[in-house]
Amino acid sequence: MTSRSQPPHPQPPEWCVADGLTEYPTALADMQSRVGAIRAGTARERVWLVEHPPLYTAGTSAKPAELTDPTRFPTFAAGRGGQWTYHGPGQRTAYVMLDLDHSHGSVPAHDIRCFVNGLEQWLIRTLDRFHVKGERREGRVGIWVADPTTGAEAKIGAIGVRVTRWVSWHGIALNIAPDLTHFSGIVPCGLPQYGVTSLAALGIPATIQDADTALRAAWDEVFRDAPQA
């Protein structure tokens, strides 16, 4: 990837919420178009909140054998990093399209590792608002929670990104109240020894709109630049 001379800092990202269920090919095409426009300087950065119909997506490290039920739902090559992921109703997916030629709050320019760390921190702070302790785990991408009774760990938030000429796309998926049996058609993120969970499974009756409010508030704590003096 090559960087360009840094223009003035862009406006804050545009936040958009898609109505209904967004087909995955539509999402890919929209992201690709927006990434090109951001790169060209003709569109603002964007955080796009969607729900998808039930489907599986394969990241660049996905293994065919870890799609254990290939006829259950449609499958798509995502082009992002990572392995197999499920998307479906009751899960909030946030596609994050930022110009990483610029810093964003605690995330410096041209630092993909710190960008991914920022996405993790965004999810952790979002879960804090529901009194859920989300945690990172060494060697495991995403955000994890421990069952308060058994101590067993399960994944509640997935992260998968792609960066094209320093513009990010794809993003995060937070389980609010999806049908967790739908994850059984894949080995989520290539980790068969761990399960998946959701706010609903933890006994928290949150809505997608509640999650959107928490995501928006937590974003400013991680990615918002300090006001100019």
For residue range 81-117, list pLDDT tens digits in order.
999 999 999 999 999 999 999 999 999 999 999 999 9
For 213, the token pair is: 């409010």
The answer, yes or no, to whether residue 183 has pLDDT greater than 60, is: yes
Dmax (CA) for the chain in angstroms is 57
**Structure-token match 């596609």, residue found:** 95
The answer, yes or no, to whether residue 5 has pLDDT greater than 50, is: no
The answer, yes or no, to whether residue 226 has pLDDT greater than 80, is: no
Using 50, 70 and 90 to split pLDDT, how confident is the model at 148? confident
User: What is the pLDDT at residue 138?
Assistant: 87
User: What is the pLDDT at residue 209?
Assistant: 98
Residue 77 to residue 94: CA distance in whole angstroms: 18
Catalytic center residues: 189
Of 80, 78, 229, residue with least CA distance to 161: 80
User: What is the pLDDT at residue 227?
Assistant: 54
Cβ-contact 56, 186 below 8 angstroms: yes
Length of the chain as a residue count: 229
Q: Does domain 14-223 have CATH number 3.20.20.70?
A: no
The answer, yes or no, to whether residue 153 has pLDDT greater than 70, is: yes
The answer, yes or no, to whether residue 229 has pLDDT greater than 90, is: no
User: For residues 229 and 142, which has the higher predicted lDDT (pLDDT)?
Assistant: 142
CA distances from 150 to 157, 164, 221 (A): 20, 42, 32
User: What is the pLDDT at residue 192?
Assistant: 77
User: For residues 102 and 194, which has the higher predicted lDDT (pLDDT)?
Assistant: 102
Q: Look over the chain and give the mean of its residue pLDDT values, rounded to a whole number.
A: 92
User: What is the pLDDT at residue 2?
Assistant: 41
User: What is the pLDDT at residue 228?
Assistant: 46
Looking at residues 139-163, what average pLDDT do you find? 90
User: What is the pLDDT at residue 1?
Assistant: 42
CA distances from 105 to 17, 129, 138 (A): 23, 20, 24
Looking at residues 118-136, what average pLDDT do you find? 97
Q: What is the domain partition of the chain in residue ranges?
A: 14-223
User: What is the pLDDT at residue 150?
Assistant: 75
Looking at residues 164-171, what average pLDDT do you find? 98
Of the ranges 59-68, 80-89, 183-192, 220-229, which one carries the lowest mean pLDDT score?
220-229
Tell me the pairing of strands 153-164 and 167-175: antiparallel
Cβ-contact 56, 24 below 8 angstroms: no
The answer, yes or no, to whether residue 6 has pLDDT greater than 60, is: no
